[in-house]
Amino acid sequence: MVVLAFALAGSSCSGDGGGGASSGGGAPPSYAFSSKPEGCGYTVNIDASRGSDFRADEPTLGADAKPKRVRLGLGGNTDVGASDYADPAKTVAIVWDSDVGSFASKVKIGKAPAALTDVHAGFSYLLPGDVPMRIHRADVCGLAPKTTYYYQVGGGPDGAGVWSEVLSFTTLASPAADAEVTIGVSGDSRDSVDVIWPLLQGRMAKMAPDFQLFTGDSILAALPTSENDYVRWFDGAASAKSLGAMPIFAIGGNHENVQAQWLANQALPGQGVTESLYASFDAGPVHVVVFDDQLVAEAAAVPDLTAAVGKTIADWVDADLAAADDRRDQVPWIVVANHRGILSTSHHADDADVLDLRKQMMPIYDAHHVDLVLNGHDHNYERSTPATGPADSPSAKTDPKDGTVYIVCAGAGADRYAKGTTPAPYRATNAEFGEGTEYVGLYGTLQITGKTLSWKAYGLKASGMTTADDGVVDEVSWSK
């Protein structure tokens, strides 16, 4: 668990994390850096474990200043109903990489490619670990829902700036019971980030969902040099033209192991040491919750600090779902994404950490009537019946309103696992990819239109170009 301690170290540090300037009047004592994005109702507060040499935008350019791996995330905070609560209908956080000597962190944005007249300054920092990399971030608020925006990132001296190509994205729908949203779902790319992952992201680019959920295990192992592997993961999406075109809300699994490099590469709501470990937001008719379950599932085997953070995560999920359950008239659906599948019947079904996570989380999901939980970890496909606890003997239901549906869809590049064969009353269907099938992977799409939810799981074919070329592994829908 060395990586865990490294990732969470420094939560009580102060100053600017390495001599850089901080914006917004200086960082609070518990943060390495604080920035108040212009026009936003929230402050970005970053923990010292996530980087060093923090710099507000300045025109200095290094030897390799061209922005790389431009990606979309989300700023804001995690308290449902608060004025600074994360809002992907009106806000975007744009992240990109450069060489360590480039401090230009601006975004130019507008509603037409030739009219990028709105300019916002951001900040940058050195990534932790053994791979030299500078991460840049610029937040833009006050956007219009369901509107396409064009943008470039970069900056530099007047008349001599270095900018990315012009990219575009479309904001999400505002929270509304009768709205529509489409979500792309995948997980576990770890063994084939150079082949299967780009192929899958090509499908996402052509399908153009409103956003993607990735349920963890992006790479094979969390090491001090892991940024090389994260670069390959981001490059795989960038080469498919999905990165920079839609938000990819990616959470960590056991292979990221709460690694500082992974967390520092993200822009998710939250503050300080727990930023990128959990978040939620409303998208049209659905409340989406994402959380890294590593510290929740492994709390008994790690130092007290991480055990405490694990409890913080579980308590936050409980409170967030309670608040969401009280707002069903506005946002009727609740969808959760985390790594471990607590009702999987495959390879990890009886692992102690999975069973412990089930014991902790299933009562929470039951109490707040969660509609759907999306998972990875077991490299196959499985959908449960609607189910409820008790955790030590889950009960299968027939009507979705009486339980939670659990879906494992983990085939974004990881080696295959055999599907479960031991009888389980709550297993509705399962499937494999790889040898003996025509599929090299798996992914899914979730479409929610008002009070109807439709799920479709695809078997990814190596010879295909679009979802129409792939096989449908499972398809189900239900209404409220």
DSSP 3-state of 262: helix
Q: Which helix (H) or strand (E) holds 274?
A: none
> Which CATH code of 3.30.530.20, 2.40.50.100, 3.50.50.60, 2.60.40.10 fits the domain covering 14-170?
2.60.40.10
Q: Domain map of the chain by residue range?
A: 14-170, 180-479
Judge if the upstream peptide bond of residue 390 is cis by omega within 30 degrees of 0: yes
- Residues 354 and 296: their CA atoms lie apart, in Å, by 10
Instruction: Give the number of C-alpha atoms closer than 13 A to the C-alpha of residue 353, restricted to the C-beta side.
Output: 19
**128 in Cβ contact with 114 (< 8 Å):** no
Question: What tokens does 478 get?
Answer: 């239900």
The domain 180-479 having CATH identifier 3.60.21.10: the answer here is yes
Query: Residue 429: CB partners within 8 Å, gap ≥ 6?
Result: 382, 383, 474
Residue with tokens 């474990």, as numbered in its chain: 49
Query: Residue 29: CB partners within 8 Å, gap ≥ 6?
Result: 14
DSSP for 416-476, written as a single string: P-PPP-S--TTEEEEE--STTSS-SEEEEEEEEETTEEEEEEEEEPTT-SSGGGSEEEEEE
Q: Please give the chain's pLDDT, 480 residues, in tens.
A: 334 443 443 333 333 333 333 334 444 457 999 999 999 999 999 999 999 999 999 999 999 999 999 999 999 999 999 999 999 999 999 999 999 999 999 999 999 999 999 999 999 999 999 999 999 999 999 999 999 999 999 999 999 999 999 999 999 999 999 999 999 999 999 999 999 999 999 999 999 999 999 999 999 999 999 999 999 999 999 999 999 999 999 999 999 999 999 999 999 999 998 999 999 999 999 999 999 999 999 875 555 667 788 999 999 999 999 999 999 999 999 999 999 999 999 999 999 999 999 999 999 999 999 999 999 999 999 999 999 999 999 999 999 999 999 999 999 999 999 999 999 999 999 999 999 999 999 999 999 999 999 999 999 999 999 999 999 999 999 999
